Structure 1
Amino acid sequence: MLKNRVLGICGSYSWSKGALAALLQFGEKGDWEIVGPHVEVCSAPTQEDLESCRELGRNIAAAL
Structure 2
Amino acid sequence: DGMVVVAFDPQWYPAIAEAEAAGIPVVVTHFPIEEGSAPGVVSNIATDVAAYGAAAADAIGEKIGG
Q: TM-score, normalised by structure 2?
A: 0.27
Decide which structure has greater strand share: 1
Q: TM-score, normalised by structure 1?
A: 0.28
Structure with the greater alpha carbon radius of gyration = 2
Greater relative contact order (Cα < 8 A, sep 6+)? 1
